[in-house]
Each structure stands twice: as C-alpha cells, then as structure tokens.
Chain A
Amino acid sequence: MHAPLPPPAAPLLRLAQVTKRFAAHTAVDAVSLDLASGEFVCLLGPSGCGKSTLLRLLAGFETPDSGTIHLDGADLTALPPHRRPVNMMFQSYALFPHLSVAGNVGYGLKGLGLSRAALQERVGGLLQLVRLDGFAARKPETLSGGQRQRVALARALAREPRLLLLDEPLSALDRALREETQGELRAIQRRLGTSFVVVTHDPAEAMALADRVGVMERGRLVQVGPARTLYERPASRFVAGLLGDVNLIEGRLGPAVPGAVRSVETALGPIRAGGEGEAGAAVVVAIRPERLGIGGEGGSDATELSGTLAEATFLGDRLRYRVTMADGTVLRASAPLPITGPAPSVGAAVTVAIPAESARILPA
C-alpha cells in the first residue's frame, strides 16, 4: 500500500465549481477538486455519473458552462485540446489504424522541433518503457489487446504531459491481464512522477491504483479521499455500497453523548456505532460483512444480537454467512478461512457482534 499524500499547498490542477450541462441534463455539477503534482487519482462511479465528461472537460473536448480549470496556475478553461499540456488515453485506445506503432507513438512529437534522430530515440525509449521494443513497424490491427493498450499509453506519455488522463484504461483487457497491468501502470506512474487521473467503474481497480479516489454520483463529486477512508468511513449509503458489500440497518439516532460512539434505535434493538447527526434523525447503520463477528467475538465495544444461521457458503478463501434476525432482517457476514474453533452449523442460533468502531452512522 502507498501512503496517502497530504493535501498540497499549491495544487498542480485545480477544478473550481465546474459545471457542464447537455440540454436539460447536468452531466457535471459544480465539481471542485485539487490535485497534487505526482498524485494518482481515480474517479469512480456508475456509468452516466459524469466521470467521463469530467475527463473530457480536463482534456478540452468539452467546455464547461461555468467554473474554471487551472493547471499550474494557468487557466485552461477555454484552451482547445491541442494546446493543453494534458494528454489522454482513450478507452477504445483510438490508435490511428493507418499509422504504425512508431507513427502512433511519435504522432504527438511532430511539430515540437525535434530532429529525426531525436524523435526516433524518444519513440524507442517510450516503446522500451511499455516493453514493446521491436514492434515499431507493426500496424495496430496486428497487436493483441494488451499490446494496443501499451501503445496507447506510450503515445499519451510521449509529450511528457503534466497530467495524464486515462479513460477506463483496463476495461478492454481480460481479468488476469488487468491485474498485471494495474501494477505496471502504477510503476510507470511512480517512475515518471506524472499526475494521473483515471476514470473507472471498477471499485477494486480504483482501490488498487489510486492515492485518492473521488466518487461521483449524478454529476456531483460526493466524496474524495484515500481508498481506505472511503471504504471504512463512507459519507453516504451510495459510497458505502459502491466500494463493496455492506449491511444497512435503518433506525433513529439516539441522543448526543460525549465521545464518538452513539446509539441508534433499530428494529433489532439499540446498536452502537460511530458518526454524527441530530438526535431523532432517520439514519442507517452501515457495517461491512467481514466486520460482523459470528459467534460473539466482537471486542470490547460491540453490540451483540442473536439470530439464526440461515446459510453458510464456502468461497475458498472465506465463508459467507447469511443470518436471519428475530424481525426477519437478513445480515450478511463473512469470515476468513481457516476459522479457529468450531464452525457454527446451519439452523443453529448464533450471536452476531457489531463492533462500534466498524459500524458507521449514515444519513438514511
């Protein structure tokens, strides 16, 4: 894991209240975001949430209706794409079919005043970076999916952009290749020190790649932070659900007390959880399945509830439980394998422990 960077004093990129509308539809709604030099940020969200539009605004293919985009203090907002020190790797890769691999990679270097030899050397270096030496003369159509992806990356890096935008960079690859490529992408980014903004709909990918993840929902940037913070302390049900499986238990927030832990009145009885809010407000308690203790190992500050084990499924590295509570609510839990002690059997009464430090109070 990589340590999250502290918020920088002078950001490389600053988005201020950027809004983009298409007819009646607001694709990007008042998004503000700062990005440090060398930072790797993932924009995560379901399709149609505005993340790709935000990327196109950064690249210059769209112009915001309001708000500004600054890079290194310079206003980019009205600059056309070909005059921005920003490059993009397209989801479809958009490799020029009539040009060779070298022609594609060198395309952005033309017109920079490089000599032929210098240009060839730069292209050679880039191909080496993406492990494609020897492919310079090939046409894109003769390459495999993974090779095309690397050509697209090399091409986008050729102009040494301050900021590289990547639109679903790994979505066209199969799973095994995707995981391998994640590591490669991360290594190249660290080596070059270029800032990356990646758009993805895959939470696992966002968590694996990014220093910070920004979650988008219907055009708004709803939460930004290190993946771990988003996973463990989501700001809303939407963010909690987007990053992984979560149990949501509805209830009313009890009175304020000193300390971080509050009590929530639910149909299962009072549950102690972390969070804030007005007393009496409708809330949900969010708890990840792997944080639920089956068989009563909840730690010191845990709410213990009883239920019946309805199902236990073997998943190789863990067991997945479904527990039916007294009021009929079903909670999902999981335990890493191998488990210590005797495994509960289906149909048996079990104690479900909800540790207060893992349970979050979220607006309903």
Chain B
Amino acid sequence: MSLFARATLVLALAFLYAPILVLVAYSFNASKLVTVWGGVSTRWYGVLFADGPLIAAALVSLKVALLSAAIASVLGTLAALALDRHGRFVGRGAYTGLLYAPMVMPEVITGLSLLLLFVGIGLERGVATLVIAHATFATGFVAVVVGARLKGFDRTLEEAAADLGATPARVFTGITLPLIAPSVAAGFLLAFTLSLDDLVIASFVSGPGATTLPMRLYSQVRLGVSPEINAASTLMIATVGLVVLAASWLTARRGRGA
C-alpha cells in the first residue's frame, strides 16, 4: 500500500472515530464540564442507572425495535424473493421504487405523513404506531441485504433438491431458507438498530407514554452536553461493539471449522 493510501485510511478512520472516543472518554470524567478533566470516575453511570424515565424509554425502544425488526424481516425477505424469483413481472419497476424509496426519503416526510394517516384512521398513537412506522422504513433495508445474498445464490441447489424429490415447500425450508438465513439475520439486526436509532419518525408517530430512548436523549441533548448522556452513549456504543465483535467472531469460527 502506498503512503498516500495509508495516510488516507488513517485520517478517514480518525475522522469517523474521534467523536466516539471523545464521548467515551468524557463519560468517565468526574467533572461536569467538558473542558475540565476532573479525574476518572464512574459517577455518571450511577446517575444513569437511577434515571427512571431514561430506563423506561430504553425499554420502550427495545420493544419497538424487536417487533418492527421482526415484521421488516418477514416483509423484506418476501420482497427480495419476489424481485429475485418472479422475473420481469408487470409493475416490477414500481415495486422496486416503492421498496427503495422509504430508505432515502427524508425522515420528516415519512414521519409527518404516517402521523397524518394514523390520525386520519383514528389509530391511537403509541407502541403500535411506532412499530408500524419503523417496520415500513426498515423493510427496504432488509430486502437489500437479503437480495444481495439471493443474487449470489446457486439456483441449481434448489433444482437438485427438487430433482431428489423435495416438494417446493421442502426445498424452501430445507435448502433456500437455511442458506439465506445469515442474511435474514443480518437484515433483522440492521432493522433493529435502525429502529433503536430513530428520533425523527418516532417523534411524529409516538404518543404519550411511548417515549423512546432517542426521544428522551434528544430532549436532554437540547439542553447541552451532559456527562450522563455521555455515559448512556458509551453503553450503547459498547453494546453495538460487542455485537459486531461476536458476529465477526462467529463468522470467522464458521469459516475455519467444518
């Protein structure tokens, strides 16, 4: 690798990680002021765990993320299968458009219009509306992840199974599904984190009693930098880091074994 390439990578990664490292470092700062280093302390983690509303919000977020990711995984996988398997059906262009558009659509539009629909049909705002909204914009992401796997899928494996007497249902459950399962799991994780992360859409469609973690954090962030938020952020980053590490460890092990 040339020196230029090396320097580029180092700078790009520094740019991506510097803010995160700053957050983590300051979550252990004993002082309440950002510019003053008051020594290492875990006091903000104590404050965090005593913050009832924040923990309640985290639980709401978790619930919404699990449910919406489950729905998005089913819908996204079906959509990916339809696009991969059904050839050039009528309306295919519109179908892909409808699938991809929610991924890039500005969140304020998606959030506002969903809210107006929910109000229009008289659906009470809360966890249910949050789940519907998040499932809607995550479906496309799942479809993209699963679709990429289906593209590299060796269709003769399915033909071989059918040739050996497996019914279409058995081909799907015994061959297709196990082989695309890692991508469905990846899609689920993506949908899950997208839901956990969403502030804008949630602010529109949620109702009283269904405050999500980002909504709660946002209301505090607006008041300025706070060490407690730094601690909460560090915990979230650590969780994601552990999940990513575990996932890569699992893939590495699977690659080595067998």
Contacts and interface: CB of A to CB of B under 8 A. Distances in A.
B159 interface: yes
Given A94-B157, A97-B179, A88 B163 contact: yes
Interface residues of B, number: 20
B166 A82 contact: yes
B160 A158 contact: no
Contacts of B161: 96, 107
B157 to A, nearest CB: 5
B5 interface: no
Contact of A81 (B162, B178, B258): B162
Interface residues of A, number: 28
A139 interface: yes
Contacts of A86: 163
Interface string B125-156: 00000000000000000000000000000101
Nearest to A165: B163
A155 B164 contact: yes
Interface string B162-194: 111111101100110011000000000000000
Given A94-B154, A94-B156, A87 B179 contact: no
Interface in A97-117: 97-98, 107-108, 111-112
Contacts of B165: 82-83, 108, 111-112, 159
Contacts of A96: 157, 160-161, 175
A105 to B, nearest CB: 10
A167 to B, nearest CB: 9
Given A139-B258, A141-B258, A142-B258, A87 B154 contact: no
A59 B157 contact: no
A90 B154 CA distance: 12
A153 to B, nearest CB: 13
B21 to A, nearest CB: 40
A7 to B, nearest CB: 28
A61 interface: yes
A98 to B, nearest CB: 5
B162 A82 contact: yes
Contacts of A347: none
A107 B159 contact: no
A142 B257 CA distance: 10
A80 B162 contact: yes
Contact of A90 (B159, B166, B178): B159
A66 interface: no
A92 B168 CA distance: 21
Closest 6 CB pairs of A and B: A108-B164, A94-B160, A94-B156, A81-B162, A139-B258, A82-B162
Interface of B: 154, 156-157, 159-168, 170-171, 174-175, 178-179, 258
15 contacts: A61-B162, A61-B163, A81-B162, A82-B163, A87-B163, A90-B160, A92-B154, A94-B156, A94-B160, A97-B179, A98-B178, A98-B179, A107-B166, A111-B166, A141-B258
